[in-house]
């Protein structure tokens, strides 16, 4: 759909260098927005100024302004652009450019896919990729180097587990990395071993560095290609802004190149991959918003523990399916507080990954202690907050904490979480509703590429607690579902708020950027299954069309 000039005379009178510098009326739409109280507001027209900001939201009765351009929405559904509060931009791009095993349901299927990929890419010195999940394969164990050697033995292979918390190497990769039975354990990680003591091929968390340190770095042009791919993918899902969780200096430089050259369309709220990256990227304070509110480094990502799938999440009591193991704290209590202080003293926002109940309790305690010194509007972010002791839930309501959670993780993890924790420790598991009732603000995301970035799946899961097959019927711990309106709010304005972006984007209100979608159905009336099948027809950012399904 193209912008239609009102008249040639109007166009001639414009006398501006580019049609982008003109105001636009998007009219005859079935517009939806959610107000600050979570109530639905409907409208029929959107007047956008020449900076790409909303000038006025119009309903049926309002007079139409005389604008330079007018777009007939043909009665289609227009909704705010969706915002993902936690994903990995470059990971989405590289994931789409490397071997993706996320759709494999058995080891044999994965092996076939790896073999085919190796054959199709003879020029690649390493076979890299990820997305594997031994739980989904029903394997009952981690895969091994021998499983990989069967299909690729002439080139090194390194494949990340779907959650990014484990890596799977073939024998050649381990040989090149100098990893052997004599290699000592790494703090914050674990080398899976065979009964002989030799590494089995799987490396948990920090142990992955033993192999990844010898993988050749992608070149700047590879990174540019990955960012382009990530934007293409995210915009096609209707994501107009995202928090990038763990931005490295190279990631940031890639984003800056895109911004400088006018290739950055997506809005990125960046959180540096650790305090060193934070200082290297931004120096003494968060960066300003760059490129018309498209990029800012506002905070730092820290990790308190690993993930539940690889039993790296830090629990208060041992795993139900691994007695004696309580998982791994990544940082000592004083390290946690020191890193958070270093960020907070220079007004950087802290976004800390906490999955297990012990990690969440530790982070909540650290926030309580630091809030005395670092008062004011801090918006401490707890990323994931998957397993919380019921006794700790109320603590989320204090100190302006933001719970950054990913609805689809709940459906992917449900059976695994039951196995890891047992039936009696699920009272604060993926507890969106309980956490939101404490007064904490929920910001929703996908954690892509761990999960698909498709926000419709996240929305449908958020108010049903059912997966794509409608399982379990009636929802898993259904009292933890949130309303459809609140889910939409957590995927738009509250995800913006979580990144200090309110007033700039996230809502279709006067003065904010006109980021919106045309979709083929009404997200407030569609059944969960219909919602999951939503087609994004067009994605617009700052009044400019950046994706079209046609
Ligand atoms: Zn993540």
pLDDT, tens digit, 9 for 90 and up, residues 189-215: 999 999 999 999 999 999 999 999 999
Which of 12-16, 190-194, 449-453 is modeled with the greatest confidence?
Answer: 190-194
Residue 43 has pLDDT above 50, yes or no: yes
- pLDDT > 70: percent of the chain: 96
Q: How far is the CA of 245 from the centre of ligand 1 (A)?
A: 6
H helices of 89-170, in order, are 89-97, 107-120, 134-137, 145-149
Rounded to the nearest angstrom, the distance between the alpha carbon of 303 and the centre of ligand 1 is 10
Q: Which tokens go with 494?
A: 């509250």
Residue pair 212/158 in contact by the 8 Å Cβ criterion: yes
Position 38 scores a pLDDT of 86
CA of 462 relative to ligand 1 center, distance in Å: 18
Residue 40's alpha-carbon distances to 29, 224, 433, in angstroms, are 15, 39, 20
Ligand 1 centroid distance, CA of 246 (Å): 8
Beta strands in 359-399 (DSSP E): 381-384
Ligand 1 centre to CA of 31 (Å) is: 32
**262-276 pLDDT tens trace:** 999 999 999 999 999
DSSP string spanning 222-284? HHHHHHHHHHHHHHHTTEEEEEEEEE-HHHHHHHHHHHHTT---SEEEEEEESHHHHHHHHTT
- Is residue 343 pLDDT above 50, yes or no? yes
Q: Compute the distance from residue 447 Cα to the ligand 1 centre, in Å.
A: 5
Average pLDDT over residues 338-358: 98
Confidence of residue 36 (pLDDT cuts 50, 70, 90): confident
Ligand 1 geometric centre to CA of 360 (Å)? 16
Per the omega criterion (within 30 degrees of 0), is the bond before 8 cis?
no
CB 531 within 8 A of CB 459: yes
Write out pLDDT tens, residues 96-149.
889 999 899 999 999 999 999 999 989 888 999 999 999 999 999 999 999 999
In this predicted structure, the answer to whether residue 477 has a pLDDT above a threshold of 90 is yes
14 alpha carbon – ligand 1 mean position (Å) = 46
Ligand 1 centroid to Cα of residue 416, in Å, is 18
- CA 180 – ligand 1 centroid, Å: 30
pTM: 0.88
* Cα distances (Å, whole numbers) of residue 106 to 68, 139, 415: 57, 7, 17
- Cα(445) to centroid of ligand 1, in Å? 9
* pLDDT, tens digit (0-9, with 9 covering 90-100), for 274-302: 999 999 999 999 999 999 999 999 999 99
Q: What mean pLDDT is predicted for residues 441-469?
A: 96
Q: Ligand 1 centroid vs 87 CA: distance in angstroms? A: 6
pLDDT above 60 (res 19): no
How many angstroms does the Cα of residue 217 sit away from the middle of ligand 1? 21
């Amino acid at each position: 759909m193209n912008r239609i000039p009102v008249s040639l005379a109007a166009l001639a009178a414009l006398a501006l260098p580019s049609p982008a510098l003109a105001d636009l009326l998007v009219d005859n739409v079935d517009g939806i927005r959610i107000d600050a109280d979570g109530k639905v507001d409907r409208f029929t027209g959107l007047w956008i100024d020449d900076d790409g900001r909303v000038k006025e939201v119009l309903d049926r009765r309002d007079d139409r302004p005389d604008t330079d351009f007018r777009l007939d929405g043909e009665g289609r559904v227009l909704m705010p652009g969706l915002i993902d509060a936690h994903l990995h931009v470059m990971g989405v791009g590289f994931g789409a450019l490397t071997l993706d095993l996320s759709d494999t349901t058995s080891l044999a299927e994965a092996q076939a896919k790896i073999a085919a990929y190796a054959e199709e890419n003879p020029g690649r010195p390493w076979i890299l990729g990820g997305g594997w999940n031994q739980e989904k394969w029903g394997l009952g164990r981690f895969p091994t180097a021998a499983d990989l050697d069967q299909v690729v033995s002439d080139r090194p292979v390194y494949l990340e587990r779907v959650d990014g918390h484990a890596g799977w190497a073939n024998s050649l990769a381990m040989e090149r990395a100098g990893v052997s039975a004599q290699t000592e354990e790494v703090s914050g990680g674990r080398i899976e071993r065979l009964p002989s003591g030799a590494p089995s091929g799987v490396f948990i968390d920090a142990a992955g560095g033993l192999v990844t340190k010898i993988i050749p770095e992608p070149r700047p042009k590879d990174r540019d290609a990955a960012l382009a791919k990530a934007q293409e993918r995210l915009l096609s899902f209707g994501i107009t802004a995202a928090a990038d969780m763990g931005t490295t200096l190279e990631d940031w430089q890639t984003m800056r190149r895109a911004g400088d050259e006018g290739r950055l369309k997506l809005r990125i709220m960046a959180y540096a991959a650790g305090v060193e990256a934070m200082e290297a990227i931004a120096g003494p304070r968060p960066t300003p918003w760059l490129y018309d509110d498209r990029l800012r480094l506002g905070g730092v990502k820290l990790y308190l523990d690993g993930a539940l799938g690889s039993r790296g999440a830090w629990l208060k009591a041992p795993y139900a399916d691994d007695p004696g193991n309580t998982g791994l704290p990544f940082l000592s209590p004083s390290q946690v507080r020191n890193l958070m202080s270093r960020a907070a003293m220079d007004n950087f926002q802290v976004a800390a990954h906490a999955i297990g109940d012990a990690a969440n309790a530790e982070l909540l305690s650290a926030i309580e202690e630091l809030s005395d010194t670092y008062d004011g509007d801090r918006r401490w972010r707890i990323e994931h907050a998957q397993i919380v002791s019921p006794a700790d839930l109320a603590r989320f309501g204090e100190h302006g904490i933001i719970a950054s959670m990913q609805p689809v993780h709940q459906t992917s993890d449900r059976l695994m979480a039951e196995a890891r924790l047992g039936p009696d420790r699920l009272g604060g598991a993926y507890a969106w509703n309980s956490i939101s009732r404490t007064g904490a603000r929920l910001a929703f995301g996908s954690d892509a590429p761990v999960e698909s970035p498709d926000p419709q799946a996240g929305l449908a899961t958020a108010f049903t607690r059912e997966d794509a097959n409608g399982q379990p019927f009636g929802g898993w711990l259904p009292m933890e579902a949130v309303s459809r309106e609140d889910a939409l709010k957590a995927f738009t304005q509250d995800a913006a708020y979580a990144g200090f972006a309110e007033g700039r984007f996230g809502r279709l209100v006067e003065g904010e950027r006109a980021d919106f979608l045309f979709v083929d159905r009404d997200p407030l009336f569609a059944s969960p299954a219909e919602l999951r099948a939503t087609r994004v027809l067009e994605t617009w950012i700052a009044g400019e069309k950046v994706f079209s399904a046609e």
